[in-house]
Amino acid sequence: MGIVGKEKCVDDCAEFACGGQVMVATTDMLHRSTDFVPGMTDWQAGWMSAAVTLSDIASMGAAPKYLLIAVGLDDWKCLEGVMQGAKDCCMKYGAEIIGGDIDRHNELTVVTTGLGLVDRRDIARRTGAWPGDLVCITGTPGQAQAWLDGYHQFEKYLFEPQPRVTEGQLLGKAGVSAMMDDSDGIALSLYDLMSVNENCGFALDLSKLPLPAGIPAERARELALYGGGDYELIFTIAPDRFPVDDVAATVIGTVTEKNAVTVDGIPLEKRGYQHRWE
Amino acid sequence: MGIVGKEKCVDDCAEFACGGQVMVATTDMLHRSTDFVPGMTDWQAGWMSAAVTLSDIASMGAAPKYLLIAVGLDDWKCLEGVMQGAKDCCMKYGAEIIGGDIDRHNELTVVTTGLGLVDRRDIARRTGAWPGDLVCITGTPGQAQAWLDGYHQFEKYLFEPQPRVTEGQLLGKAGVSAMMDDSDGIALSLYDLMSVNENCGFALDLSKLPLPAGIPAERARELALYGGGDYELIFTIAPDRFPVDDVAATVIGTVTEKNAVTVDGIPLEKRGYQHRWE
């Protein structure tokens, strides 16, 4: 998301009324040369394509409902695996593939459009962070990027991301003040959040950051702060609303009045993960 | 549409309940080498991308509401024109671009996902044709293909297709028995309709077929029957419901009990337009 301009697309999804609820909608284009890691199976490419879109829906606190999938193919043999992967991911998270398009293309290209539903009062957006709120993250950031560093025990995190669909809905109901997924890394996510929450900033406490296991500490911190390819939820929430039942999340900092992103008081670099396998 | 299998995607759009209405959803992938004609401007590529999706919505009798657009770019300079073309097309037909994605790609690739709304009793589908119904078409088929034949007075029909959005809704309300757009040509459209209306066929009367003007009769008939790139609506309707106020359409045949597509009693060839500019 993001093509339309800020007035429409601050969030991970667009939204509109659907009966008494809010429908959220998002579209993502992935393709072989920049998004699908060499070595991924067709099934994994399909899974990932669905997962990134379901993650956007999760980050709004919505329940995924429908997915449309357009597949451009340089090799028709890929189609079955890609579709099965997308279908399995949708099935796991309660969504249904309702339509699509196929086309010949010069590299595998998958565009997934997801639709989800959420009650108006439970919707989570990027805006709304408030000084004094906690900054939290689900799961352990940096594991997907760790695979690219050669720590191949983390393959599943990069190749078969698990969007936080259940957690997103629980967090929406619990009244998080702001939420997004961290697919570009924690650092860029926090800068994105700061850009739409103009009267606050984020102060991280490095000692609280969950780190990928089995990696030297300094490198692990680098991966956790700047690594991409994760689909965790990063959110802010009033202290009296945390923890949220059935959501495994870690407090990693606080929302400040100062418009800056810091780690242990030092400004965090504004950089993240650049996709490109070529 | 069509990737999911017949149980879900007989029609030009998928559908689901949205409040008391039906929301229809469709996605289309277009790209430079097979869909955008050499000579098209970026604006026209964007217009066409939106138009093909709005046409699918029109063919369900629905009002277009929202469009999401994913653009893969080999040249970032194209983006503004593509987006403006899509936006202008949406604005003309009452839809709004609510989200999107951009990505670097090795050729211009545009995936549009459209959402529309229709009252349950007004929805039009491909199924429902009945022996004795009239077979009708809006506008004049074959004009887009005529441009490719060198009749450059038809450029607008190929480069800037005008989806039959108003007509689709009026026809839905009027109770057409079956409807689709003719983007692959009349012949393939009728065979598609026959495949989902198993107990009937279509008998065309060649003398009734509207023909592109200024083209020798034999070639004009070939273009009208087999040419692609048009976005007219082809529909069947009970004789007592036709004509429909404010819809310019021509009766070109009747629905028969015999499971065949014929023109003046002779089987129509099952062929259509193959996109490929290379």
Query: What's the whole-number average pLDDT of chain B?
Result: 93
Q: Where are the beta strands (DSSP E) in A90-228?
A: 96-104, 109-118, 134-138, 178-181, 201-204
Query: What's the whole-number average pLDDT of chain A?
Result: 93
| Alpha-carbon span B95 to B80, nearest angstrom | 19
- Residue among B71, B82, B69 nearest B115 (CA): B69
Q: Provide CB contacts within 8 A for B139, sequence distance 6+.
A: B164, B210, B230, B232, B248
A178: helix, strand or coil? strand
Average pLDDT value for residue range B49-54: 98
Give the domains, in start order, of chain A with CATH numbers: 6-121 (3.30.1330.10), 124-267 (3.90.650.10)
Verify whether the Cβ–Cβ distance A100 to B3 is below 8 Å.
Answer: yes
> What are the respective helix, strand and coil percentages of chain A, to the nearest 5?
30, 30, 40
Nearest to B99 among A4, A19, A103 (CB): A4
Question: What are the φ/ψ torsions at residue B69 (nearest 5 degrees)?
Answer: -135, 125
Average pLDDT value for residue range B250-274: 93
- Over pLDDT 70: what percentage of chain A? 95
| Alpha-carbon span B66 to B27, nearest angstrom | 12
With contacts defined as CB-CB under 8 Å, which chain A residues touch B25? 66, 68, 98-99, 113, 115
pLDDT surpasses 70 at A126: yes
pLDDT surpasses 60 at B2: no
B181 labelled binding-site residue: yes
Nearest to B1 among A100, A107, A113 (CB): A100
DSSP structural state of residue A37: P
pLDDT surpasses 70 at B164: yes
pLDDT on residue A235 = 98
Instruction: Give residue-wise pLDDT tens across range B103-162.
Output: 999 999 999 999 999 999 999 999 999 999 999 999 999 999 999 989 999 999 999 999
Question: What are the φ/ψ torsions at residue A207 (nearest 5 degrees)?
Answer: -65, -20
pLDDT on residue A9 = 55
Chain B residue with CA closest to A108: the answer is: B105
pLDDT on residue B1 = 45
A203: helix, strand or coil? strand
Q: How confident is the model at residue A66 (pLDDT cuts 50, 70, 90)?
A: very high
Q: What is the ipTM of this complex?
A: 0.91
Average pLDDT value for residue range A34-60: 96
Instruction: Give residue-wise pLDDT tens across range A6-33.
Output: 334 578 899 999 989 999 999 999 999 8
pLDDT on residue A11 = 86
pLDDT on residue B93 = 98
B42 labelled binding-site residue: no
Q: How confident is the model at residue B7 (pLDDT cuts 50, 70, 90)?
A: very low
pLDDT surpasses 70 at A105: yes
Verify whether the Cβ–Cβ distance A2 to B33 is below 8 Å.
Answer: no
Cβ-based contacts under 8 A for chains A and B? 162
Instruction: Give residue-wise pLDDT tens across range B207-232.
Output: 999 999 999 999 999 999 999 999 99
pLDDT on residue A34 = 87
